[in-house]
Amino acid sequence: MPLVRDEQNLFVVDLHYIVPLEEIEPHIEPHLEFLDKHYASGCFIASGAKVPRTGGVIIATAQSRSALERLLEDDPFKKEQLAEYTITEFRPGRVAPQLRA
């Protein structure tokens, strides 16, 4: 199955920590489990910490923005009010061939 289907938009999810890193650390493992679950489902394409470490970024694909927003409600960082989320939706004009498979 291709990572990026023609009918789907992509999303850049920008997480910005709103608490000190010391409060983030205890929630890293549950957050990574959340990410793994959605990599397995095919929703997440890439993710990682920002440099400098003020938050993170997730590249995702979903049926709709509202579907992605519902999914993100289960992220421990969101549940524990540790980060603010900004979602940018875009329709890819070009995609690397290996992502279209």
pTM as predicted: 0.90
The number of distinct structural domains making up the chain is: 1
What are the CA-CA distances from residue 49 to residues 13, 53, 57, 63, 98 (Å)?
A: 12, 6, 6, 25, 24
pLDDT at 89: 95
Residue 98 lies in a domain: no
Structure confidence at residue 100 as a pLDDT band (50, 70, 90): low
Residue 2 lies in a domain: no
pLDDT at 66: 95
Residue 18 lies in a domain: yes
Per the structure block, which two tokens stand in for 2? Answer: 């291709």
Scanning 13-64, the segments in alpha helix (DSSP H) are 21-24, 28-40
Residue 43 lies in a domain: yes
Residue 94 lies in a domain: no
Full domain range(s) for residue 38: 10-86
Whichever domain contains 39, its CATH number is 3.30.70.1060
The answer to whether residue 6 scores a pLDDT higher than 70 is no
Residue 34: which of 53, 22, 25, 47 has the closest Cα? 47
pLDDT at 91: 86
Residue 19 lies in a domain: yes
pLDDT at 63: 86
Structure confidence at residue 35 as a pLDDT band (50, 70, 90): very high
The rounded distance, in Å, linking the Cα atoms of 49 and 74 is 19
